[in-house]
A and B are shown apart, each in its own frame.
Chain A
Amino acid sequence: MNKSLVYSLTLCILLVIAPHAGHLPLWVSALCGMLLTWRAYLTFSGNPLPARWVLLLVTLAGIMAIAVGFHTLFGREVGVTLLVLLATLKLLELRGTRDAMGLIYLSCFIIITNFFYSQSISTALMMFATLFVIVSAWLRIQTPRITFKPQLRIAAILLLQAVPLMLILFVLFPRVQGPLWGLPQDAYNSTGLSDTMSPGSLSKLSLSEAVAFRATFKSISPRRDQMYWRGPVLWQYDGRTWTTGTAKYDLAPSFDATAQTIEYSVTLEPHNKKWLYALDVPHQLPIGAHLSSDFQLLAKQDVNARLRYEMSSDLLYHANVDESAAQRQRALQLPPRLNPRTLELAASWRAGQSNNGELVKTALRFFNQQNFVYTLEPPLLGSNGVDDFLFQSKQGFCEHYASAFVYLMRAAHIPARVVTGYLGGEYNAIGNYTIVRQSDAHAWAEVWLANQGWVRIDPTAAIAPERVQMNMASSLKNKAALPFMARNPPQWLSKLRLNLDALSNQWNQWVLGYNPERQFALLTRLGMEDVSWQKMARDLMLGLAILIGVFALFMFRHLFARQTDPVQVAWLKLCSRLAKAGLPRAAHEGALDYATRVAAARPKLAANMMDIAERYMSLRYGETRDEASLRAYRDALRAFKL
């Protein structure tokens, strides 16, 4: 087998399996690397390929090792591992064109498995580049002596021709609900809020630069200090950890919205949890979601694929003004026999102030005036955590403040709860949307006041108002603990990041998030009425037929190009007449040869046929063409009877 072909195929397999190297077992990656090197060496040195039994042995050993390592031979990971190993081994068994073709098909299949692990633009581009190399290698099989430049050119042309085909299939192929690849539950190692909160959990999360979700506001954007994206609401405190607890009974949430409805859409990255994020308080719910009694927006299932939903929220509201006594009681729960100094402080406030609203203000003043510090690295707290925090360390992140504040409120007999979620976000002017990252994670408090319902109180705002007004980096004195990009990086870098994020947002919205609803909307906008899968299938077939027809016309254009010559047109007409009579002319057959053959087959036609052929030849290939001979030719043709 041709050396350059073997090198191309080796390069193919290398590119195909390289992206998998990260998530395959280390020994498989190492083995594949060794096999590839060995193959390249064998080609280079011209040594013979290893014997069949050696390959068989390596294959069996490899499969056994994979089976032992994974405890199974079924499933996604095992499948990909097996494919990668076997494809690499196949390289050592290249004996004929058939093996090479097999490798090409296998490569095409394996690159698709990349989508199991990542569906980003860079993955798609990488796959496209790999496909280019595969097609080039395939061309080398078809025409072994092709030189490098035409090989690349033809491969590029082939791929470019496939692009419109791909677009038609992408737009029109009937979509099914859910992610294209039917990703299993563990698809993403997601980070995100959990339904518990203990000291340090949010500050740890806020070091992550991962995108939590992106939001696009329809007409007006809310002010930054209104952008509280509500996540899990925490009721139950055990002295260290806040949990959601269980509701006594669910009273339907009720609001009376006063003003300011904001419309927006959210594209939520998968986080393997049920809740969706929305601004307080939801006005209209997305399809399939419902609102819990504490105004959490919940989906039916865990969100394990990127989810896009349309929302509207009322920013000014009274929520659950007539909250049930049981819920109010729940919001007063405190762990017994803990934090005596805090209880004492709350009792002293209570004794001096009977108005709940004023008491809340007292508490905020307390935070504001007692030299509290907002930091990512608070000291560790003892078993009386709230006492230690309020009276000794006085250093904490938002979860400390929210927790201590709610504790104080409950000690003072005001129903209160912790709300976790995200605050603010980064506005991306390029794509006109807001990016909310894990580093925007936040915790705040809600207290229930008579006639006002649940009111949001953010104790962090009393200590570090910059956190609310701007972003975390501006509010922290010691920024060293923050990841690089969160430390207000140089402008060009953040601009670049916003650009890339805008691009990947478009990709998410239109490529990965192209679901039945989007398809319906797009096709309707393109003018299809009553979108149905039958119509899509019909248009799909039609589109493909037209496209292939256009390509075919282009490829066979030389067949139609020269038929403007009237002599030739008339001649071809005669030929097709004769073809119908069972005497077809071969495409390469000259007029004289053909006429002789026809004359032999049909002696009756001989004289006429030879005459016409002579006239045709002198008209088409002769030096002069005068009207008289052209007329004579036509007459002869007209007179020709089968």
Chain B
Amino acid sequence: MTNPLHKVLQQTEQVIVGKPLQIRFALACLLARGHLLIEDMPGVGKTTLAHVLARTLGMQFQRIQFTSDLLPADILGVSVYQRDTADFKFHPGPIFAQMILADEVNRATPKAQSALLEAMEEQQVTIEGVTRPLPVPFFVIATQNPIHQIGTFPLPESQLDRFLMRIQLGYPDAQAERGLLSGVDRRDLVARLTPQMDSAELLALQQQARQVFVSPALLDYVQAILKHTRESARFAHGLSPRAGLALLAAARAWALLDGRGAVIPEDVQAVLPGVASHRLQQTQGSSNANSDTLARELIAAVAIP
């Protein structure tokens, strides 16, 4: 099968070694027109992943480093007075790119964060009364540093919900790390990458992902999962209908990645940890489990109808 997506995966895996699952998640997220939140320590390759994806998919890339003094205008852009034309000219901010890497979003103030999150949600920004559409495809990878939380503004749960998926990269395994240490500099590798598709192709793939068939039997399964999170005492609160939609969209993209025309329960199970882990919270007092095991528990608890 000459699936361009396979080539994308292949090329990415050459640079980001030992993380095929995370790469797939990121790609599925992109195909489902969602946005990705990566929560991990510095230096595990979050930026490189964004770079590689942008390069391989032929997208314009912008990186915004979030700091505590970042202002919304720093993200969205600003109008500057032009003396010669006696007029204001809009200088678009870094948000006007196809792929945005919002590095360490939790360092910025809520005001700056919401500027980004609104842009993500609306696919457009309104500045000084003028609504400007963002480029398509539009994909945000935000990263969050889970340690050194002093002086940061962790995203509230309602904002977390705007991200289709949240993943963690984690340390590479020994073999992958060996390759990393002994191999060529990643930056050179990225520079050498060739785009595997253009924006039009990517948009077509996004459209294709939306049309992956979902059968009533599969909807039963998704509903059973949602119902379980709402009824079980294990979870503080159940998944929202938006979470249900997100789960379906991600599962469709996953099926497309596997080259299937219909979603099967395995697709749902595969994307569930990414889609649900930042939306689920265990009840206080029950035994400790990280969000990933919680999602896995959820999978094991719901029978496929």
A binds B: yes
**Which residues in B have their C-beta under 8 angstroms from that of A592?**
264, 266
> In the complex, what's the smallest C-beta–C-beta distance from B252 to chain A, in angstroms?
12
Q: Which of B217, B269, B299, B300 has the most CB of A within 10 A?
A: B217
**Which residues in B have their C-beta under 8 angstroms from that of A622?**
213, 215, 261-262
Q: Which residue of B lies closest to A625 (CB)?
A: B215
Contact A621 B217 (CB under 8 A): yes
Alpha-carbon distance A253/B40, docked complex (angstroms)? 104
Contact A589 B285 (CB under 8 A): no
Size of the B side of the interface (Cβ < 8 Å), in residues, is 25
Is A631 engaged at the interface, CB distance under 8 Å to the other chain? no
A145, A561, A588, A620: the one within 8 Å of B236 (CB): A145
**Which residues in B have their C-beta under 8 angstroms from that of A562?**
217, 220, 305
A143, A621, A623: the one within 8 Å of B264 (CB): A621
Contact A586 B300 (CB under 8 A): yes
**Which residues in B have their C-beta under 8 angstroms from that of A589?**
304
Is B283 engaged at the interface, CB distance under 8 Å to the other chain? yes
The digit string for A77-116, where 1 denotes a CB below 8 A from any CB of B, is 0000000000000000000000000000000000000000
B218, B261, B303: the one within 8 Å of A587 (CB): B303
The digit string for B255-285, where 1 denotes a CB below 8 A from any CB of A, is 0000001111110010000000000000111
Contact B264 A588 (CB under 8 A): no
Is B21 engaged at the interface, CB distance under 8 Å to the other chain? no
B264, B283, B299, B302: the one within 8 Å of A617 (CB): B264
B213, B224, B233, B269: the one within 8 Å of A143 (CB): B233
The digit string for B283-301, where 1 denotes a CB below 8 A from any CB of A, is 1110000000000000111
Contact A568 B217 (CB under 8 A): yes
Contact B215 A588 (CB under 8 A): no
Contact B262 A587 (CB under 8 A): no
**Which residues in A have their C-beta under 8 angstroms from that of B236?**
145
Q: If A590-B264, A590-B269, A621-B263 touch, does A145 touch B283 (CB 8 Å cutoff)?
A: yes
> In the complex, what's the smallest C-beta–C-beta distance from B294 to chain A, in angstroms?
15
Is A627 engaged at the interface, CB distance under 8 Å to the other chain? no
**Which residues in B have their C-beta under 8 angstroms from that of A561?**
305
Is A52 engaged at the interface, CB distance under 8 Å to the other chain? no
Q: Which residue of B lies closest to A565 (CB)?
A: B217
**Which residues in B have their C-beta under 8 angstroms from that of A586?**
300
Contact A620 B266 (CB under 8 A): no
Contact A623 B261 (CB under 8 A): yes
Contact B266 A593 (CB under 8 A): yes
The digit string for A606-642, where 1 denotes a CB below 8 A from any CB of B, is 0000000000011011110000000000000000000
Alpha-carbon distance A182/B161, docked complex (angstroms)? 64
Contact A588 B301 (CB under 8 A): yes
For window 546-590 of chain A, which residues contact chain B by CB distance below 8 Å? 558-559, 561-562, 565, 568, 586-590
Is A591 engaged at the interface, CB distance under 8 Å to the other chain? yes
> In the complex, what's the smallest C-beta–C-beta distance from B55 to chain A, in angstroms?
33
Is A118 engaged at the interface, CB distance under 8 Å to the other chain? no
Alpha-carbon distance A145/B236, docked complex (angstroms)? 7
For window 200-219 of chain B, which residues contact chain A by CB distance below 8 Å? 213, 215, 217-218
Is A452 engaged at the interface, CB distance under 8 Å to the other chain? no
**Which residues in A have their C-beta under 8 angstroms from that of B217?**
562, 565, 568, 620-621
Is A516 engaged at the interface, CB distance under 8 Å to the other chain? no
**Which residues in A have their C-beta under 8 angstroms from that of B264?**
590-592, 617, 621
Q: Which residue of B lies closest to A620 (CB)?
A: B217
Q: Which residue of A lies closest to B303 (CB)?
A: A587
**Which residues in A have their C-beta under 8 angstroms from that of B303?**
559, 587-588
Size of the A side of the interface (Cβ < 8 Å), in residues, is 24
**Which residues in A have their C-beta under 8 angstroms from that of B265?**
590-591, 621
Alpha-carbon distance A323/B152, docked complex (angstroms)? 111
Contact A144 B218 (CB under 8 A): no
Contact B262 A623 (CB under 8 A): yes
Alpha-carbon distance A58/B303, docked complex (angstroms)? 53
Alpha-carbon distance A593/B268, docked complex (angstroms)? 13
Is A142 engaged at the interface, CB distance under 8 Å to the other chain? yes
Alpha-carbon distance A558/B303, docked complex (angstroms)? 10
Contact B304 A623 (CB under 8 A): no
**Which residues in A have their C-beta under 8 angstroms from that of B233?**
142-143
Q: Which of B220, B264, B301, B302 has the most CB of A within 10 A?
A: B264
Alpha-carbon distance A225/B305, docked complex (angstroms)? 77
> In the complex, what's the smallest C-beta–C-beta distance from A147 to chain B, in angstroms?
11
Contact B299 A588 (CB under 8 A): yes
Alpha-carbon distance A565/B261, docked complex (angstroms)? 21
Contact A590 B304 (CB under 8 A): yes
**Which residues in B have their C-beta under 8 angstroms from that of A144?**
283-285
Alpha-carbon distance A586/B266, docked complex (angstroms)? 13
**Which residues in A have their C-beta under 8 angstroms from that of B261?**
622-623
Contact A623 B300 (CB under 8 A): no
Q: Which residue of B lies closest to A593 (CB)?
A: B266
Contact B300 A588 (CB under 8 A): yes
B213, B224, B269: the one within 8 Å of A623 (CB): B213
Q: If A143-B233, A623-B261 touch, does A590 touch B266 (CB 8 Å cutoff)?
A: yes
**Which residues in A have their C-beta under 8 angstroms from that of B304?**
587-590
Alpha-carbon distance A143/B284, docked complex (angstroms)? 11
Q: Which residue of B lies closest to A624 (CB)?
A: B213
Contact A618 B283 (CB under 8 A): no
Alpha-carbon distance A593/B266, docked complex (angstroms)? 7
> In the complex, what's the smallest C-beta–C-beta distance from A7 to chain B, in angstroms?
18
Q: Which residue of A lies closest to B263 (CB)?
A: A621
**Which residues in A have their C-beta under 8 angstroms from that of B301?**
588
Alpha-carbon distance A342/B23, docked complex (angstroms)? 122
Alpha-carbon distance A617/B258, docked complex (angstroms)? 14
Alpha-carbon distance A622/B266, docked complex (angstroms)? 14
Alpha-carbon distance A563/B43, docked complex (angstroms)? 51
Alpha-carbon distance A560/B171, docked complex (angstroms)? 45
Q: Which of A588, A592, A620 has the most CB of B within 10 A?
A: A588
Alpha-carbon distance A562/B217, docked complex (angstroms)? 9
**Which residues in B have their C-beta under 8 angstroms from that of A559?**
303
The digit string for A438-470, where 1 denotes a CB below 8 A from any CB of B, is 000000000000000000000000000000000
> In the complex, what's the smallest C-beta–C-beta distance from B269 to chain A, in angstroms?
6
Alpha-carbon distance A558/B302, docked complex (angstroms)? 12
For window 114-159 of chain B, which residues contact chain A by CB distance below 8 Å? none
> In the complex, what's the smallest C-beta–C-beta distance from A448 to chain B, in angstroms?
82
> In the complex, what's the smallest C-beta–C-beta distance from A568 to chain B, in angstroms?
7
Alpha-carbon distance A592/B258, docked complex (angstroms)? 13
Alpha-carbon distance A281/B266, docked complex (angstroms)? 88
Contact B262 A588 (CB under 8 A): no
Alpha-carbon distance A623/B216, docked complex (angstroms)? 10
> In the complex, what's the smallest C-beta–C-beta distance from A569 to chain B, in angstroms?
13
Alpha-carbon distance A559/B265, docked complex (angstroms)? 17
> In the complex, what's the smallest C-beta–C-beta distance from B274 to chain A, in angstroms?
17
Contact A618 B305 (CB under 8 A): no
**Which residues in B have their C-beta under 8 angstroms from that of A568?**
217
> In the complex, what's the smallest C-beta–C-beta distance from B43 to chain A, in angstroms?
34
> In the complex, what's the smallest C-beta–C-beta distance from A60 to chain B, in angstroms?
33
> In the complex, what's the smallest C-beta–C-beta distance from A468 to chain B, in angstroms?
70
Q: A558-B305, A591-B264 are in contact. List 17 more A-B contacts (CB 8 A).
A: A143-B233, A144-B285, A145-B236, A558-B224, A559-B303, A562-B217, A565-B217, A568-B217, A588-B304, A590-B264, A590-B265, A590-B304, A591-B266, A621-B262, A622-B213, A622-B215, A623-B262
Q: List 16 A-B contacts (CB under 8 A).
A: A144-B283, A562-B217, A568-B217, A587-B304, A588-B299, A588-B304, A589-B304, A590-B264, A590-B265, A590-B266, A592-B264, A617-B262, A617-B264, A621-B215, A622-B213, A623-B262
Which 6 pairs, one residue from A and one from B, show the smallest C-beta to C-beta distance?
Answer: A587-B303, A590-B266, A590-B265, A623-B213, A621-B215, A143-B233
